[in-house]
Amino acid sequence: MANDVWVYIEHKDGNASPMSFELLGIGKELADNLGSSVCAFVVGENVENIAKEAFSYGASKVYAVEDGVFKGFRAEAYAKAASFLLDKYKPEITLFRATSQGTDVSAASAASLGFGLCTDSIGIKVDGGQIKLTRAAFGGNYTVTVVNEKAKPQITTVRPKAFSMPEKDASKQGEIIKESFSIAESDLNTKVLEFIKSEVALNLVEADIIVSGGRGVGGDDGFKMMKELADVLGAAVGASRAAVDSGWISYEHQVGQTGKTVKPKIYIACGISGAIQHLAGMRTSDCIVAINKDPDAPIFKNASYGIVGDYKQVVPKIIEKFKTKLNK
């Protein structure tokens, strides 16, 4: 149906990215308000299991394009297949996660189809029959509401963890609609030769706990201590841009306006002042713990708990306490 809500499902090595199902919860809420259904769509080589999993998270139908050419993710090929489906069914709104894959496919599809696109939404609702999207602007200092009046249907990317994961119910079933669409290998400009696993052991965006270091941790030794605390807590390591620019840690760890947006349950900021560009990437964390030797550091204004002190004295004590508590 034309006013359905669609959700794009990402996957790798034959398994759905679990966080893709996050959008089916808000998708269902939107669809209920529009008097329509929430559907998932997936492009890949063999997607039957992924489709079944989408039903258990609330999709009523799954539209699928399956072909060997879609074995591994390639932006160009996936965007062409996604555009084919979106052009054929014209859902009212299509939700992608604001990940690198979601951003690639959504932008290319919107551009080729002339659909409206709002990126990085953190709120979506139906109000007076209109879909209203909320997103951060000006480095997170303002929140704006976007109404797409002309370029319809529309697409939005949604910031990971902006909405809670819907309950899983494995007994739920639905209809898989397979569409035949393929592209000759010779029509594609790119070939994936190899995937090199990222050195970031724990996915920063999906981590429940993040231990982040800034310029104040002073160098490689400081980051060794961040890693030690992260290992004890089962956390991922994040960093401010100052730490990344200093060459103490790679860009993949950067949190903030020009890095990753995260929303962990606990964000521990060590030696980070709390510049707006850093806050833009972590201020919505459930609990922020700031460790800084300057009692006037702006980070304390956003912190749930603040520890004024030198991280070299504070962090080893926290590590010891947690080692004892967690029997490590």
Ligand X SMILES: Cc1cc2nc3c(=O)[nH]c(=O)nc-3n(C[C@H](O)[C@H](O)[C@H](O)COP(=O)(O)OP(=O)(O)OC[C@H]3O[C@@H](n4cnc5c(N)ncnc54)[C@H](O)[C@@H]3O)c2cc1C
Q: What angle do CA 100, 103, 107 make, to 5 degrees?
A: 145
Is residue 308 a contact point for ligand X (CB under 6 A)?
no
- Name the residue nearer to ligand X (CB basis): 142 or 194: 142
Which one, of 150, 261, 136, lies nearest residue 203 by Cα? 261
The DSSP bridge partners found for residue 61 are 39, 175
- Name the residue nearer to ligand X (CB basis): 72 or 139: 139
CA 69, CA 77: separation in Å to the nearest integer?
A: 8
Is residue 211 a contact point for ligand X (CB under 6 A)?
no
Is residue 242 a contact point for ligand X (CB under 6 A)?
yes
Which one, of 118, 108, 119, 11, lies nearest residue 64 by Cα? 11
- Name the residue nearer to ligand X (CB basis): 141 or 145: 141
Q: What angle do CA 134, 125, 110 make, to 5 degrees?
A: 65
- Name the residue nearer to ligand X (CB basis): 72 or 309: 309
Is residue 259 a contact point for ligand X (CB under 6 A)?
yes
Out of 273, 284, 289, 290, the residue judged to bind ligand X by CB under 6 A: 273
Stretches 90-98, 198-206, 310-318, 319-327: which one binds ligand X (CB under 6 A)?
310-318
Per-residue contact flags (x/-) with ligand X for residues 4 to 33, judged by CB under 6 A: ------------------------------
- Cβ-in-10-Å burial (0-12, 13-18, 19+) of 58 comes to buried
- Name the residue nearer to ligand X (CB basis): 161 or 241: 241
Out of 278, 303, 306, 318, the residue judged to bind ligand X by CB under 6 A: 278
Is residue 300 a contact point for ligand X (CB under 6 A)?
no
Is the distance from CB of 87 to CB of 113 less than 8 angstroms? yes
CA 154, CA 70: separation in Å to the nearest integer?
A: 25
- Name the residue nearer to ligand X (CB basis): 185 or 220: 220
Out of 27, 91, 116, 216, the residue judged to bind ligand X by CB under 6 A: 216
Stretches 60-68, 111-119, 193-201, 213-221: which one binds ligand X (CB under 6 A)?
213-221
Which one, of 90, 101, 36, lies nearest residue 63 by Cα? 90
- Residues across the chain: 328
175: helix, strand or coil: strand
Stretches 25-33, 98-106, 195-203, 276-284: which one binds ligand X (CB under 6 A)?
276-284
CA 323, CA 325: separation in Å to the nearest integer?
A: 6
Calculate the alpha carbon distances from 32 to 61, 134, 152 in Å: 15, 19, 20
Is residue 52 a contact point for ligand X (CB under 6 A)?
no
Is residue 306 a contact point for ligand X (CB under 6 A)?
no
Is residue 220 a contact point for ligand X (CB under 6 A)?
no
E strand or H helix at 244: helix 241-245
Out of 272, 288, 289, 318, the residue judged to bind ligand X by CB under 6 A: 272
Out of 297, 303, 318, 319, the residue judged to bind ligand X by CB under 6 A: 297
E strand or H helix at 33: helix 22-34
Is residue 141 a contact point for ligand X (CB under 6 A)?
no
Which one, of 187, 183, 203, lies nearest residue 18 by Cα? 203
State the minimum distance, in angstroms, from the CB of residue 100 to ligand X.
Answer: 16
Binding site for ligand X (CB under 6 A): 214-216, 240-243, 254, 256-259, 271-273, 275, 277-278, 281, 291-294, 297, 310-312
